[in-house]
Structure 1
Amino acid sequence: MKKFWRRLSLIAIMATLGLTLSACSTTSVANRNVLKADQKSKTITWGVKADTRLFGLENIKTGQLEGFEIDLAKAMTKKILGPDAKAEFVPVTSSTRIPLLKNGNIDAIMATMTITPERAKQVDFSKSYFDAGQSILVKKGSGITSIKDLNKKGKVILGVSGSSSVQNVAKVAPKATVLQLSDYAQDMTALKSGQGDAMTTDNGILYGLASENKGYEVVGGTFTKEPYGIAVNKNQKAFLKKLNWALEELEKDGTYNKLLKKWFGDVKGFNYEEMKRS
């Protein structure tokens, strides 16, 4: 596990250095035809989460990434490039995913990334593939039942740096202090140790955390709409069109709903029927 996270840290460092080096490159990454390159290699390289239960998480026994986004990326890859095509995965965080995309380390981001106007200035998004909503995770018996209970001085809300959730919660509960950590695992550890009163991010992610951490629960429903989209570099219209087509095809043939049921069908509190697509 330590080796995995060292590799993830190295990728983040390379992404940062790449921002400088790419300026000296003779061929702009933005002008590279990603679709043609992927058709030639029969491979799409996806930036995915490796620390987010239900969406993308490393199986410590096999070393493989597992989750809804992992399976959806594999299905989309085969739909676009053929049954013998391969999906490759690069672990990303909320703060490294766009730099890695810009540097050409990955072809697309599928990593619980909410479609926002600010992000759309940097990347292009596919249609939404998962309609999440922001909520809060608390210790059972905390007395906190909604985001309103956190809008007080002295209350501390835990979030992940680089995510839209920290910006959203600061607007909804401006009197509270928002403590930003690097990933969900650190947030969960901080919540358990009493460094925060609640953790906030999208409900799907929180349900995953609640399912593996007894004594914690998602409360108060959602207070934002967080549609997840696949992000690609600007000037990749052909690639983006193919991604949207593949997603629509998987929704039509029932693959999408099968994957949704596989990962969320038995999650307590999650409305699987409401999320199904035809």
Structure 2
Amino acid sequence: MPFPGTFDVDLTGATAVVTGSTRGIGRAITQRLLASGASVIGLQRGTDSLGPGHSCRGVDLSDPAARAEVIAEVLAEHQVDILVNNAGINLRHTVEDFPLEEFSQVMNVNLDAVVQLTQAFGGPMLARGSGRIVNIASMLSFFGGVQASAYAASKGAVAQFTKSVANEWAGRGVAVNAIAPGYIATELNVVLREDTVRNDEIVSRIPAGRWGRADDIAGTALFLASEGAAYVHGAVLPVDGGYLGR
């Protein structure tokens, strides 16, 4: 599948696990990996395939036991070379009214699952002395946002977790990095983009003058999964059209 601005990366023979692989950013990352020759195993609630080379394991990523079960199944059948921790949720409340149960729910999916999958799939990578892990952080890894305290807390933690793992694993052949997407035009942001006032405020703040596309994130993920990023460790790369530099 051709992509505008595609660069050559050959991942033939590699196997990647991508959480949330059929929607939004996860779908774009999966398509890029497939186009580069990798096989992709998606972990998510649904089991729809994007075509040859892509299979899905249905799993509730909010359930630690279910995560452990599907991890064991995948590792029993595959050598996983690339892990992309993409899946995440956001529940919005003011801080004073944020139900603790919902706060914990966001932290569980956005952080705990990342830790569990990193440990489980990273172990065999360390044993082989090679592997790539790409975590999806957020602009809210850098600032707090509004009515998104749980999401900001989880994504801030993902960024720091990424750096900590890289400190321990960089010298052992496993590259661990994160991407911090800016405002990306996915189905999750339709309402925001349809609000003409808020949309204009957002675009005026982005030096590139547009919302990002899911494939903008996918290209960066492909780079981090490639040998071209062999000396990139512990980075949290903003892909935001220049938003943070404004």
What band does the TM-score fall into relative to the shorter chain?
A: 0.3 to 0.5
More helix by share: 2
Higher relative contact order by CA 8 Å / sep ≥ 6: 1 or 2?
1
Give 1 or 2 for the bigger CA radius of gyration. Answer: 1
TM-score (structure 2 length as normaliser): 0.32
| TM-score of the pair, normalised by structure 1 | 0.29
More strand by share: 1
